[in-house]
Structure 1
């Protein structure tokens, strides 16, 4: 394969703000090269106003991509048809062009489930879960946790209205509870689905006193996030967002190209081994 782009090279892009920290171009381009696919993957910072036109332009040129914060909900309205996971979560994180139209779907659900199973060595069936956040990533987490059979999910979010909308999205099941602050309980699993930890100086998403058997931070940085480091120093199994990033990216690759991605190549590119 030609190592440089040509007039036939397809463009795939991550659209969001911020995107400067993203590792998606690193592992997706490694996968494209290893698979012999003439395409390039880039991270493009864009505003809310610019998203629909940029998304449609990339897709209609024969490409596709991913959507990250804060555009996953807006992207729902920018595509022609939605997959089941996107409709269920109310968030779109992947898009492409097929059969004369632009499709949108959500691979975060599968990504979260696989990352969680990698951390726990099992499903979350029967577990008591503390979830911080109520945005697109949180909805993907709730979807996966409910499917897994988690015993209870306590959602803590700054905006009570947004938390209520999240509960309504899933029919307000009895296993889903809302709280304006972290209750003084012990949880089997704590999940950070906010952006806290993405920027230097951010406070921890959860108070140091929270008791949990395991921790999954959906944020990732070049080094481990402060919350993951804090948990690991206390002997609590914890993982950052790279495993979920890998798994949702692999699911998107399957949607774009209809073939299995080279998982070992993607893992090595992310420093996850393999």
Structure 2
């Protein structure tokens, strides 16, 4: 009897994850009888779990707080993971780590009709902001403003930007005004309290909003964009496209190699979300 191919998503917490829905739909569309489950794993338990049952899995999707520890555990990294210091896709065989969040952002923004920008803004300076900055560089941005409560993390983003030939500037989140940009990437965690007045000032200067949040929708930022009649999208598009790139990794070993019948696979994943 053949041992079933198994994959999992790990994180802490993990009950909210939509990855099992997305991946199961993809493998069914591909005609693969693969099993995809979720497991609650803390950062402290990651190494021991990986060396235990995790080593028998074909692949792992990783959410917070495991992206940094997975980066340190990987022996081989793709360029996006190397740049961001974060791994959300892990292949135990060969201990290969990838960051598909960057590609998920790029594909989601392009799906909204934005093929490229020269300037943009990131709201928040946490871990997701690193992926957002690399994504903006891939979209052609050369000047990125970061609106953040804390200046320290922006210094690190500026160093990353310099390696990408992107000038990163900092604006306090409570600034009286913001310079106009055609695209805003919001990376604040869901449920974070934001002064509606601050959200309104960001919306007035922010162009199109692509928010990483999908579970706590609409966010305060989304409400501000809606009040102005400005376009905004939640994080489901990013989630969908980063998952598709993960499926590419788990099936073909390469996030840049399209799947057979990929349009149908993507449609099945999108339908599963709905």
**What band does the TM-score fall into relative to the shorter chain?**
0.7 to 0.9
Q: Spell out structure 1 runs of 4+ moving beyond 6 A.
A: none
- Map 1:122-271 onto structure 2 (within 5 A): 122-126=114-118, 128-171=119-162, 173=165, 175-181=167-173, 183=175, 184-185=177-178, 186-195=180-189, 198-199=190-191, 202-204=192-194, 207-210=199-202, 211=204, 212-221=206-215, 224-258=218-252, 259-260=259-260, 261=262, 262-271=265-274
CA shift for structure 1 position 194: 1.9
1:222–1:36 Cα change, 3 Å:
farther
Selected match of 2:58 from 46, 57, 63 = 63
Q: 2:95 aligns with which of 76, 80, 102?
A: 102
Question: Post-superposition shift, 1:57?
Answer: 3.9
Cα 1:144/1:137, change in 2 over 3 Å? same
Given the superposition, is the C-alpha separation of residues 61 and 229 from structure 1 closer, same or farther in structure 2, using an over 3 Å criterion?
Answer: same
Alignment CA distance shift 1:254-1:174 (3 Å):
closer
- The separation in 1 between residues aligned to 2:166 and 2:7, in whole angstroms, is 40
TM-score using structure 2 length? 0.85
Cα distance in 2 between the residues matched to 1:135 and 1:52? 23
Q: 1:204 to 1:80 in 2, by over 3 A?
A: same
Among 31, 47, 59, the alignment partner of 2:42 is 47
Query: What are structure 2's unaligned runs of at least 5 residues?
Result: 253-258
Structure ranking higher in helix proportion: 2
**What is the CA-CA distance between 1:174 and the residue it aligns to?**
5.5
Structure 2 match to 1:117: 110
How big is each residue's C-alpha offset from its partner over 1:125-162, in whole Å with a ceiling of 9 and x where there is no partner?
22x32212223321111112112222421112333222
Q: CA RMSD in A?
A: 2.3
Once residues 171 and 151 of structure 1 are traced to their aligned partners in structure 2, the CA distance between those partners, rounded to angstroms, is 10
Give the Cα–Cα distance (whole angstroms) in 1 for the partners of residues 5 and 150 of structure 2. 40
Change (3 A) 1:56 1:102: farther
1:32 maps to what in 2? 27
**Aligned residue pair count:** 258
